[in-house]
Amino acid sequence: MSCSICRCEYNAFTSVYAEDAWIDGRRHAIICDVCMMVPKTYDYDEKKQEVVVYDELDPKRLNTVEEMMSDGCDKDEARRSIKAVKAILKKRKK
């Protein structure tokens, strides 16, 4: 089994977006846990010292490699997934 975004072979997958559209506007039967972490779903507001949760995924709001690493991702996996997500978003715009 491989991820429909980055095509990697993983043990941890989700099928959350099999019914609903993902950040690229398409449905995906299988997405690896690393690609799932690329769209930013929250931020920390330093001034208010609180977490801001985003209800909707936004193609302009993606996590960085450093942010994904702070959430437990491997550096190379984070880079690969970010690159793959950006590629499908770019392809969608054409």
Q: How far apart are CA 20 and CA 7, in angstroms?
A: 20
* Structure confidence by residue, pLDDT tens digits, 22-76: 898 888 888 888 999 999 999 999 999 999 999 888 999 999 999 999 999 999 9
Give the model's confidence band at 15: pLDDT under 50 very low, under 70 low, under 90 confident, else very high: low
Give the model's confidence band at 1: pLDDT under 50 very low, under 70 low, under 90 confident, else very high: confident
Q: Check: CB of residue 10 under 8 Å from CB of residue 4.
A: no
Non-local (6+) Cβ contacts of 50 within 8 A are 44
Domain count for the chain, please give it.
Answer: 1
Residue 55: count other Cβ atoms within 10 Å of its Cβ.
5
7 CB-side CA count, 13 A: 4
Domain membership of residue 20 (yes or no) is yes
Q: How far apart are CA 59 and CA 50, in angstroms?
A: 23
Domain membership of residue 30 (yes or no) is yes
Tell me the pTM. Answer: 0.84
Domain of residue 70: give its range.
13-93
Domain membership of residue 61 (yes or no) is yes
* Structure confidence by residue, pLDDT tens digits, 57-66: 899 999 999 9
SS3 at position 72: coil
Domain membership of residue 3 (yes or no) is no
